Amino acid sequence: MSTIVANVPVPKREGGSLWSDAWRRLKRNRMAVVSGWTLVAIGAITLLAPWIPGLPDPNVTDFALGVTPPSLAHPFGTDLLGRDMLARTIYGGRISILVGLVGTLVSLVIGVTYGAVSAYAGGKVDEFLMRVVDVLYSLPYIFLVILLLTVFAKSLLLLFIALGAVQWLTMARIVRGQVLSLKNQNFVEAARALGANDGRIVFGHIVPNTLGPVIVYTTLTIPAIILQEAFLSFLGLGVQPPDASWGVLVSEGAQMLAFFPWLTIFPGLALALTLFAFNFLGDGLRDALDPQDRKVAA
């Protein structure tokens, strides 16, 4: 007896790398996609502010005009010195986003380096370095930032360093956990057998494989630093006049909220929209890069 097997074509499943699969899953997350495009739009508007037609200088005063509510001439109104609030909100966004990005970059460099070296060294070195992290975690870091900004001269550079230097602790722990799970993998042993030194193994082979969690935490660190800068500016310790960030604008407007609410509402909405967008994008990236979701999808 012979068996006839129908020649039915079997559909091929397209394979893909972690990044291509993550990109496909991210595109299916509407909130993350909308948040991403929102951040692109906010970044483009703030970056191109000097070239926006008709946008006045944010520091030009008009004492004769004074404070006015939103109108066609001034969509966000003007402040007590007659300065256009739309221009000040857009230019303030440049500083707030810059603080978030540079502060995150500082924390990224310190945290990734510290966590990777600690995990790869192992033993007593790892134990000592992690105890240092535990001690720093026990300190009220926002008060350390305030102390730095009150003892030393206030400047944007010091603000970048101060905020970034207290945000690296969680990043170090995340990277340490990833490196501990990777340092005994076959590709590391192969690199060591080929004569690669420890520095190349750590930063050329292991650290690139930790980028998934690092990228996710980075998108969540940026809004945290922006919010901390807003808090410090609210206390008068952040960005100094005549420059303005969203935190400075909210602080100035809060003093007259009952009389001129638009001075607080518009920069507050810009700040809230940016923070929400970063958090939604971070949540979407976390889900897209989750290896467990990738196994289920496969």
Q: Identify the domain containing residue 159 by its residue range.
A: 99-297
Task: Give me the pLDDT at residue 232, please.
Answer: 80
Q: Is residue 110 one of the residues assigned to a domain?
A: yes
Mean pLDDT of 62-76: 88
**Beta-carbon contacts of residue 60 (< 8 Å; ≥ 6 apart):** 83, 84
Q: What is the pLDDT of residues 276-292, one digit of tens each?
A: 998 888 888 877 776 55
Whether the per-residue pLDDT at 216 is higher than 60: the answer is: yes
Mean pLDDT of 179-207: 83
Q: Is residue 62 one of the residues assigned to a domain?
A: no
Q: Is residue 81 one of the residues assigned to a domain?
A: no
Q: Is residue 10 one of the residues assigned to a domain?
A: no
Task: Give me the pLDDT at residue 1, please.
Answer: 46
Domain count along the chain: 1
Distances (CA, A) of 140 to 110, 166, 267: 19, 10, 28
User: 113: part of which helix (H) or strand (E)?
Assistant: helix 85-121
Burial of 210 (0-12, 13-18, 19+ CB in 10 A): buried
Structure tokens at 231: 């808090």
Domain containing 181 — which CATH number? 1.10.3720.10
Q: Is residue 38 one of the residues assigned to a domain?
A: no
**In whole angstroms, what separates CA 265 from the centre of its chain?**
23
Structure tokens at 127: 């134990």
Q: Is residue 135 one of the residues assigned to a domain?
A: yes
Give the whole-angstrom CA distance, residue 192 versus residue 272.
48
pTM: 0.79
Please give the mean pLDDT across all residues of the chain. Answer: 81
Task: Give me the pLDDT at residue 13, please.
Answer: 45
Give the whole-angstrom CA distance, residue 281 versus residue 291.
18
**In whole angstroms, what separates CA 14 from the centre of its chain?**
33
Please tell me which of 37-51, 189-203, 227-241 the model is most confident about, judged by mean pLDDT.
37-51
Structure tokens at 131: 């105890």
Reported as a pLDDT band with limits 50, 70 and 90, residue 297 is very low
Relative orientation angle of helices 211-234 and 156-165, to the nearest 10 degrees: 130
Mean pLDDT of 59-87: 88
Whether the per-residue pLDDT at 15 is higher than 50: the answer is: no
Structure tokens at 189: 């042993």
Q: Is residue 23 one of the residues assigned to a domain?
A: no
Q: Is residue 120 one of the residues assigned to a domain?
A: yes
